[in-house]
Amino acid sequence: MVKKFFTFFIFLFLLYSACYIDMPHSGLLDPENSFGKSTVKIKCYDRSHNPLPGVLVTINDTITKVSDDFGYVSFLNILKGDLKIRLSKDGYSTLYIDTILFSGIPLNLVEYLNFIPKVESSYVYSSVRKTFDVFDSLRFDVNFVVKVLEKDSIEDISEAFIYFDFGSYELMKVYDDGFIKCSLNFNKTNSPLNLYDLIGEKGNIFIKDSYQESLKVKDLSLIRFVEYIPTIISPSEGEEFFYPYSFKFKSEKPYYSSYLNLSIIDVNGVTIFSDSFSIMDTMFVYNGSLKEGEYRFVVRVYDLFGNFSENSVTFFSK
């Protein structure tokens, strides 16, 4: 009797085991299956919604893959349970994700990484240029500038200020040749000090993006203030000029001067010619053709500290 019962018990056990092994198992119906596995797929983008290749994606500090050219990465046969996912790429804020993977249920994520803004350059310069108003006067300016590399967008910079002992000012932001230029202009009408007194005044710049990444530039100050403009000898203001166009000029106060930049600009503001010259040059002959009409000849002198002085005249090509 005992032998028959034992044989019957073995038969039931084998039958149950066979049914469990042979029957298709769905993790969707049994998320608590201790042997359950699933797939993790992640698409990586920057804040401008561009696919982000080269992102290191690590799961539970054990498995790491790199996103492809389309910002895509996938992991197969990941055990169900708690997942700690880390996304990292040089120049971007590291992103941490805590989530749960259920058996048989693929996990699909779309994630955006924030670019950390970087200072490309920072400088202060003064300038003086001739203005053509009713007074035919000179305009003096002092500019504090920081160029920032920010791949997300100009809107991503949420704060941009410069702090002096005499007050704080918000910086103006514009795109400039692949960078974002944050700048402050002081002139005679808006400066709290005499412009000349800005020499040595230290400005501390603070910039922050909308994801709380920040950068600082300390002790930005003006070294020298320029006061004199170059002299244009020929042509004179409003003169009719004929081919070949022979321009004559000289630089005032050349001791600190570094180089000249000469430009010819048409009445629509289009630059016809622009190039750099030695500070010792006093004449330039333009052999190109100019249509009849109004033009402006501009002489700009740069010094060793990035300051510049500028003079210009209007002439008419004949």
State which CATH number among 2.60.40, 1.25.40, 2.30.29, 1.10.10 fits the domain covering 118-220.
2.60.40
C-alpha neighbours within 13 Å on the C-beta side of residue 241: 28
Give the model confidence (pLDDT) of 268-296 as tens digits: 999 999 999 998 899 999 999 999 999 99
Average pLDDT along the chain:
88
CA-angle at 247, arms to 244 and 248, nearest 5° = 140
Q: How far apart are CA 6 and CA 202, in angstroms?
A: 94
Residue 34: pLDDT band (50, 70, 90) is very low
Q: Measured between alpha carbons, how far apart are the two ends of the chain, in Å?
A: 127
Topology of domain 33-113 in CATH is Immunoglobulin-like (2.60.40)
pLDDT of residue 18: 45
CA distances from 216 to 122, 153, 162 (A): 11, 19, 10
Q: Can you give the pTM of this predicted structure?
A: 0.77
Give the model confidence (pLDDT) of 224-242 as tens digits: 999 889 999 999 999 999 9
CB burial of residue 310 (10 Å; 0-12, 13-18, 19+): buried
Residue 298: partners with Cβ closer than 8 Å, 6 or more residues away: 261, 262, 263, 264, 265, 310, 311, 312
Residue 253: pLDDT band (50, 70, 90) is low
Structure tokens at 11: 């038969």
pLDDT of residue 24: 43
Give the model confidence (pLDDT) of 46-98 as tens digits: 988 999 999 999 999 999 999 999 999 999 999 999 999 999 999 999 999 99
Selected residue with higher pLDDT from 10 and 158: 158
pLDDT of 8 > 90? The answer is no
Q: How far apart are CA 231 and CA 248, in angstroms?
A: 9
| CATH class of segment(s) 231-317 | mainly beta
Q: Where in the chain is the domain with CATH 2.60.40.2550?
A: 231-317
Region 122-138: mean pLDDT is 83
For residue 43, the one-letter residue type is K
Cα maximum dimension of the chain: 129
Residue 115: partners with Cβ closer than 8 Å, 6 or more residues away: 46, 47, 91, 92, 93, 150, 151, 152, 156
